[in-house]
Structure 1
Amino acid sequence: MSVVLRRIYEEDEILGGHRVLIDRVWPRGISKEAAHLDEWIKEIAPSSSLRKWFNHDPDKFQTFKESYQREINENSEASHKLNELKEIASDSRVVLLFGAKDKEHNHAVVLKEMIEK
């Protein structure tokens, strides 16, 4: 199983695999052509209220992680998308693309863990 995290603004090279944007909002300044996406899954991103509460504060990350996991597990569409990503990752590389500046405290880190479970 191969899941790779990439900040969409810092991609020096385009990684092969199933490329998925996992942000609710399209990243500013990135064209659809430059993103080279296979899929954009808005439904799997944290809710706007959770994202705003978290505000990328590392001190809130553990609580954010638990809340985000709960959101995915309680939302049938998000759970379905998670299972699809698990299935794809079992056969090939999945590249999770995100816009957050903090590479260690964001929803992509949590989602990667969930896919790899």
Structure 2
Amino acid sequence: MTVHIKRIYDEKSPDDGKRILVDRLWPRGISKVSAELDLWPKALSPSTDLRRWYHQDEAMASRWNEFKQRYLQEIQPHQAELEQLRAWEKEEPLTLLTAAKHMDKNHAHILKALILNTSLEI
């Protein structure tokens, strides 16, 4: 199947399949009803400390490689949650939702690669 990455503020699509919020904090301006989530696995989101560290540098690109490594270490103990997403992905599309402003380099891309058991291309 497919794993999409979208901002939670984007319009819902019939192609979304299971909708999963991958942020630790609830996004501003979104109600729980309007989000129409299937899952909110906070354990698979970056810790508050890691998120703050990554966003300290406005360019963030200089911290991307270290962020990836630290994020992978953080979610290592949460394989059951990751396996649930892998099982769902075999049955229908998944959409990983985030409030991240920078959609090119964020934790959702790392999580997508883990779900699909592929290497990260960014």
TM-score (norm 1): 0.90
Query: Which segments of 5 or more consecutive residues in structure 2 lack a partner in the other structure?
Result: 118-122
Deviation at 1:12, TM superposition (A): 2.7
- After the TM superposition, which residues 44-59 of structure 1 pair with which residues of structure 2 at under 5 Å, given as runs? 44-55=44-55, 57-59=60-62
Structure 2 counterparts to residues 1-16 of structure 1, below 5 A: 1-9=1-9, 11-15=10-14, 16=16
Paired position in structure 1 for 2:39 = 39
Aligned equivalents of 2:106, 2:79: Cα separation in 1: 19
Tell me the distance in 2 between the aligned counterparts of 1:103 and 1:79: 25
Q: Post-superposition, which runs of at least 4 consecutive aligned residues in structure 1 deviate over 2 A?
A: 12-16
Deviations 1:46-78 (A, max 9, x none): 1111111111712111110111111111x2xx2
Counterpart Cα distance in 2 of 1:22 and 1:66 = 18
What letter corresponds to residue 26 of structure 1 in structure 2?
Answer: W
The CA RMSD over aligned residues, in Å, is 1.3
Inter-partner Cα distance in structure 2 for 1:13 and 1:24? 20
* 2:91 is aligned with 1:88: no
TM-score by length of 2: 0.86
- 5 Å-filtered alignment, 1:71-110, equals 71-73=74-76, 75=77, 78-110=78-110
Shift of 1:14: 2.8
1:68 counterpart residue number: 71
Overall identity of the aligned pairs, in %: 39
The 3-state SS of whatever aligns with 2:5 is: strand
Counterpart secondary structure, 1:108: helix
Question: Are 1:29 and 2:29 counterparts?
Answer: yes
**How big is the shift at 1:18?**
0.7
Alpha-carbon distance in 2 for matches of 1:12, 1:19? 12
Is 2:43–2:75's contact at 8 Å kept on the other side of the alignment?
no
Residue 120 of structure 2 is matched in structure 1 by none
Gaps of 5+ in 1: none
Larger helix percent: 1
